[in-house]
Amino acid sequence: MNNLSYKKILLLLFVILIATGSAHAQIFHKNPEKQLFGKSHRKAPKVREPRTVLKAKKKQEVNARKLDKQYVKFVKQSQKRSIDIQTPEVQSRMKQNKKEYASRDKHHKKKVRSSTKRAGKKYSLMINLVDKYLYNT
């Protein structure tokens, strides 16, 4: 009887070991097709567009660039005309305002650039002093 119970316990342990081993094997190989057939190394095929499509896109880009140039030209002419129709005093004031804005914008861009650089800490003190001197803020 003692011998029979040892055989049953041994058989039970053996079955448990086999069951847990197969369970671990299934965890690591989730996709059985991948395990059977291996990885797929197919590349996606390159699709070439027809010549007519390429030509149409190129033509569209050329037209877009042409429109952009025309728009810039129109804006410059409009600005020039708006200055030309003013009196000489207003023209001089507009030019002065433009210069002041350009200098402020240049200073602001320089400040942003230096604050974002690694060496920004070195120059930020100097820019703050210049700001205080120029703008009294």
Q: Please give the full DSSP string across 93-124, using - where no structure is assigned.
A: HHHHHHHHHHHHHHHHHHHHHHHHSTTHHHHH
Band of pLDDT at residue 95, cut at 50, 70 and 90: very high
Distances (CA, A) of 43 to 40, 46, 47, 77, 109: 9, 9, 12, 53, 46
Q: Does 135 share its domain with 103?
A: yes
Q: Is residue 45 part of a domain?
A: no
Q: Is residue 84 part of a domain?
A: yes
Band of pLDDT at residue 120, cut at 50, 70 and 90: low
Q: Does 86 share its domain with 102?
A: no
Band of pLDDT at residue 42, cut at 50, 70 and 90: confident
Q: Does 137 share its domain with 117?
A: yes
Q: Does 103 share its domain with 84?
A: no
Domain count, the chain: 2
Q: Does 86 share its domain with 107?
A: no
What is residue 11's predicted lDDT score, i.e. its pLDDT?
79
Q: Is residue 20 part of a domain?
A: no
Phi, psi torsion values for 67, nearest 5 degrees? -65, -40
Q: Name the packing angle between helices 51-84 and 88-116 (round to 10°).
A: 130
Q: Does 86 share its domain with 114?
A: no
Q: What is the mean pLDDT of the chain?
A: 80
Q: Is residue 1 part of a domain?
A: no
What is residue 1's predicted lDDT score, i.e. its pLDDT?
54
Which residue range is the domain that position 78 belongs to?
51-90
Q: Does 105 share its domain with 85?
A: no
